[in-house]
Amino acid sequence: MNTATWQDFEKIDLRIGKVVRVEDFPEARKPAYKVWVDLGPQLGVKQSSAQITEVYSNKEELVGK
């Protein structure tokens, strides 16, 4: 098994965002939510999905996190 070096890690662009919208994602193979995350003025709002329906049964809990 190969491990990443510190130089590899330094190439990663980590961002923190705020969830601004959440919807059910019935088309997903596994239970999931569609989430829109505001990543700031440079990147804007991006859409993704998250398989966290067991942890957050009320999707509105995610807005603002």
Domain boundaries, the chain: 16-62
Using alpha carbons, select from 25, 22, 11 the residue that is nearest to residue 61: 22
Residue pair 20/45 in contact (Cβ under 8 Å)? The answer is yes
The model carries a pTM of 0.79
Segment 4-61, tens digit of pLDDT: 899 999 999 899 999 999 999 999 999 999 999 999 999 999 999 999 999 999 999 9
